[in-house]
Copies of this chain bind each other. A is one copy, B any other.
Amino acid sequence: MEKSDSVTISVPPWVDELGDRRARFETDDARMALVIGLSQRNVDEGGGPFAAAVFQGSRLVASGVNRVLASGLSIAHGEIVALMRAQRFERDDPQPQIEGASYELFTSTEPCCQCFGALIWSGVARLVCAATTADAESIGFDEGPKPDRWTDVLEKRGIAVQLGLHRAAAQQVLGDYARRGGPIYGLRHPTIR
């Protein structure tokens, strides 16, 4: 067991093999393809059907996959794992900056209420999503109470939002998870209640 004064969230080695931080991702298509590939691999490995990554221009700052089931932590959504890793890498192992480029979060499904809120403080200036809230909810996940017109709320906070990029590919991953009978964790199956 880890020391009682600390909590660690880890990702499996294939996350940084698929999402090689030395590679360049020159287009939004390439960035989202990585994220959806990570979400599919996470399903294949027994995790939730969600992944995310932080980019600065063509530079991959950090990838994340949903680790709720593996970590026992309800916070460990793909977006949170990617943001935590990005902030930690930028502090402890900084790579050459892409001049003039902001940090952008690509996610395989629109953020839930938790990840919506976490985005506000993250330093990210753009959010790009594939599958929609309705897509996630159609297989039984609950995205929770986001503010009305949540994309407008983000835009007002300086975070540009783009929805539906590679949506069909992300829907396939969600559908694959549902067909395999993957657990629908969240409010109905909370971590400690």
Interface residues of A (CB under 8 A from B): 1-13, 15-16, 61, 72-75, 80-81, 83-93, 102-103, 112-118, 120-125, 144-148, 153, 157, 186-187, 190-193
Contacts and interface: CB of A to CB of B under 8 A. Distances in A.
A117 to B, nearest CB: 4
B91 A121 contact: no
Contacts of A187: 120-121, 157
Contacts of A112: 117, 120-121
Kindly report how many copies of this chain are found in the complex they form together.
2
Contacts of A12: 5
A154 to B, nearest CB: 9
A191 B61 CA distance: 14
B86 A75 contact: no
Contact of A74 (B72, B83, B146): B83
Contact of A73 (B11, B15, B84): B84
Contacts of A73: 84, 87-88
Nearest to A84: B7
Contacts of A120: 112-114, 144-145, 187
Contact of A117 (B6, B84, B115, B186): B115
Contacts of A88: 2, 7, 72-73
A190 to B, nearest CB: 3
28 contacts: A1-B92, A2-B8, A2-B88, A4-B89, A5-B10, A5-B11, A6-B8, A6-B9, A7-B81, A61-B192, A72-B91, A75-B80, A75-B84, A87-B192, A90-B192, A112-B117, A112-B121, A114-B121, A117-B144, A118-B118, A120-B144, A121-B186, A122-B191, A123-B191, A124-B193, A145-B147, A145-B153, A147-B148
